[in-house]
C-alpha cells in the first residue's frame, strides 16, 4: 500500500509520498510506527498528527501526550504543535521520558509501598560524588587487581557512576548483573557495589535519573495507576524511538492500551545513544511489541522522501554504514535537490 503513488503492498507497511501525507496523518487508529530516513520529516509528521488529533477528536491538548528521548527534541515537537495550533507553548504536554517518569512519581508515587515519601532527585554531579564516597570505602581485595589503585580516583568514580546509571536505565538488578558478571571477571565487584549503591540511595532518601524510570515502570504495573494515566492521555506519540532504552520502552508499554492510538517515529540509522544501552532492534521489534486490539502487529508507515538531504550525502551515509542493512530501516529514500560532492575516508586506529 502507498499513499500518493503505486507501490507493491507489503505486509503491514505503507509507503507514504509527500502528496499522501494528509491522508496518512488522518488514519490514527491503533498502533503505528513511522520510519523515516534523514530529513524525511518524521518529527513534522508526528507534530501534524498531534494537531490533527486535537482538532478532530474534540480533546484538549493535555490529553495528547508527546514523548521524546532528549530535551531538545521534546522542545522541538512541542513548538511545532503549538505553532500549528496557535496556542501557548506551555500548554502542550511534550516531555522527555525522564521528566514524564518523574511526573508520574509525583502524582502516583504513593502506590509504591517501599516509599513513605517521594525521594529527592540526585543530580549528575551528586551521583558521581556518592559513588566516589562508596568506592573510597571499598575493600580493595574485592576488586580486580587493575582497579584497586583506582578506587579513590575521580576517573573510576565517573566510570562506575555511568555504569550504574546504564544498569538502572536497562532494568538490570544486582542479581541480573551477578549473572552477567560470571562471564566478565572485570565485573566481579560490580553486583555487590550496585546493591550497596541502591541501599545508600534509599538511606539518604534520594533517587537517580535511571531509578526514576525504573520506578515509573514499576508504578505502571499497578492497574489502578495505569488506568488513571490511560484515562488522562487518550493519545500517545513518541519521537526518536530508536534511542529508547529498555526502561523507556517498558514505560511506553505500560502507558499503552491496544484500543487507543499510539504512534512512534524512528530510524535505526539515526541512533546516537547506543552507548547508553539503546538497542538497534528497537524499531524493528516495535510492531510485534505493540500489537493492536486484535493481536496483529502495529502498522509501519515509511516516509519515502527527504526534504533536506541531497543524494550525495545519502550515498555517503550508505558507504559509511557499509551498505545499510539495519533491522527496521526505511529503505531507499528519494533525495532532496542538491549539488556538490561528499568524500568519505576510512582510517585505521592504533590502540
The yes-or-no verdict on residue 245 having pLDDT over 50 is yes
Mean model confidence pLDDT for the chain: 85
- Give the percent of the chain with pLDDT over 90: 58
Q: How far apart, in whole angstroms, are the C-alpha atoms of residue 186 and residue 174?
A: 15
Which 8-state DSSP code applies to residue 10? B
The 3 state secondary structure assigned to 281-343 is: CHHHHHHHHCCCCCCCCCEEEEECEEEEEEHHHHHHHHHHCCCCCCCCCCCCCEEECCCCCCC
Q: Is the separation of the CB atoms in 238 and 43 below 8 Å?
A: no
pLDDT of residue 66: 96
Gap between the Cα atoms of 263 and 49, Å rounded: 9
Quickly state the pLDDT bin for 58 (edges 50, 70, 90).
confident
Q: Is 153 helix (H, G, I), strand (E, B) or coil?
A: coil
Contact (Cβ atoms closer than 8 angstroms) between residue 326 and residue 268 = yes
Asked if 181 and 190 touch (Cβ cutoff 8 Å), the reply is: yes
Cross-strand pairs, 305: 334
Distance between CA atoms of residues 34 and 17, nearest Å:
13
List of E strands, 140-230 = 206-207
Which residues pair with residue 206 across a beta bridge? 120
Over the stretch 156-196, which tens digit does the pLDDT of each residue have? 999 999 999 999 989 999 999 999 999 999 999 999 999 99
What is the spatial distance between Cα 310 and Cα 340, in angstroms, rounded to a whole number?
9
| Per-residue confidence band for 132, with pLDDT thresholds at 50, 70 and 90 | very high
pLDDT at 6: 31
Report the pLDDT value the prediction gives residue 265, as an integer from 0 to 100.
94
Q: Report whether 282 contacts 268 (CB < 8 A).
A: yes
Question: What is the rounded CA–CA span in Å between residue 243 and residue 273?
Answer: 6
Which helix or strand (DSSP H or E) is residue 2 part of? Answer: strand 2-3
Residue 37 falls in which region: left (phi positive, over 0), alpha (psi -120 to 50) or beta: beta
Q: Can you tell me the distance from the alpha carbon of 152 to that of 148, in angstroms, rounded to the nearest whole number?
A: 9
The residue that leads in pLDDT, 260 or 215, is 215
Give yes or no for a contact between 55 and 235, defined as CB atoms under 8 angstroms apart.
no
Radius of gyration of the chain (CA): 22
Phi-psi category of residue 231: left, alpha or beta, with phi > 0 → left and psi -120 to 50 → alpha: alpha
pLDDT band at 38 (very low <50, low <70, confident <90, very high): confident
Strands annotated E in 107-218? 120-121, 206-207
Residue that wins the pLDDT comparison between 20 and 283: 20
SS3 assignment, position 351: coil
pTM of the predicted model as reported, rounded to 2 decimal places: 0.84
Q: Which of 164-168, 215-219, 247-251, 304-308 has the lowest mean pLDDT?
A: 304-308
Residue 105 Cα distances to 109, 112, 117, 241, angstroms:
4, 9, 10, 22
Amino acid at each position: 500500500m502507498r499513499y500518493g503513488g503505486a507501490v507493491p503492498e507489503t505486509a503491514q507497511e505503507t509507503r507514504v509520498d509527500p502528496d499522501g501525507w494528509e491522508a496518512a496523518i488522518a488514519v490514527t487508529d491503533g498502533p503505528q510506527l513511522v520510519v523515516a530516513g534523514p530529513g524525511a520529516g518524521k518529527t513534522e509528521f508526528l507534530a501534524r498528527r498531534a494537531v490533527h488529533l486535537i482538532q478532530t477528536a474534540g480533546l484538549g491538548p493535555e490529553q495528547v501526550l508527546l514523548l521524546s528521548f532528549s530535551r531538545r527534541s521534546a522542545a522541538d515537537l512541542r513548538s511545532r504543535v503549538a505553532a500549528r495550533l496557535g496556542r501557548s507553548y506551555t500548554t502542550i504536554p511534550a516531555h522527555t521520558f525522564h521528566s514524564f517518569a518523574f511526573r508520574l512519581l509525583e502524582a502516583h508515587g504513593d502506590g509504591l509501598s517501599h516509599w513513605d515519601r517521594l525521594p529527592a532527585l540526585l543530580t549528575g554531579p551528586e551521583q558521581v560524588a556518592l559513588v566516589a564516597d562508596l568506592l573510597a570505602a571499598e575493600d580493595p581485595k574485592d576488586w580486580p587487581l587493575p582497579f584497586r589503585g583506582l578506587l579513590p580516583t575521580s576517573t573510576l568514580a565517573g566510570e562506575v557512576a555511568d555504569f550504574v546509571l546504564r544498569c538502572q536505565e536497562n532494568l538490570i538488578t544486582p542479581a541480573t548483573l551477578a549473572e552477567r558478571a560470571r562471564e566478565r571477571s572485570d565485573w566481579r565487584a560490580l553486583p555487590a557495589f550496585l546493591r550497596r549503591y541502591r541501599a545508600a540511595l534509599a538511606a539518604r532518601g534520594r533517587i537517580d535519573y535511571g531509578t526514576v524510570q525504573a520506578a515509573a515502570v514499576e508504578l505502571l504495573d499497578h492497574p489502578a495507576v495505569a488506568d488513571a494515566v490511560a484515562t488522562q492521555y487518550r493519545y500517545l506519540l513518541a519521537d526518536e524511538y530508536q534511542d529508547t532504552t529498555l526502561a523507556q520502552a517498558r514505560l511506553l508499554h505500560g502507558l499503552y492500551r491496544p484500543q487507543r492510538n499510539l504512534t512512534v517515529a524512528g530510524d535505526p540509522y539515526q541512533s546516537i545513544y547506543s552507548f547508553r544501552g539503546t538497542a538497534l532492534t528497537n524499531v524493528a521489534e516495535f510492531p510485534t511489541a505493540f500489537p493492536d486490539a486484535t493481536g496483529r502487529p502495529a502498522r509501519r508507515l515509511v516516509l519515502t522522501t527527504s526534504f533536506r538531504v541531497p543524494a550525495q550525502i545519502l550515498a555517503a551515509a550508505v558507504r559509511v554504514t557499509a551498505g545499510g542493512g539495519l533491522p527496521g530501516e526505511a529503505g531507499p529514500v528519494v533525495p532532496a535537490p542538491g549539488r556538490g560532492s561528499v568524500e568519505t575516508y576510512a582510517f585505521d586506529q592504533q590502540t
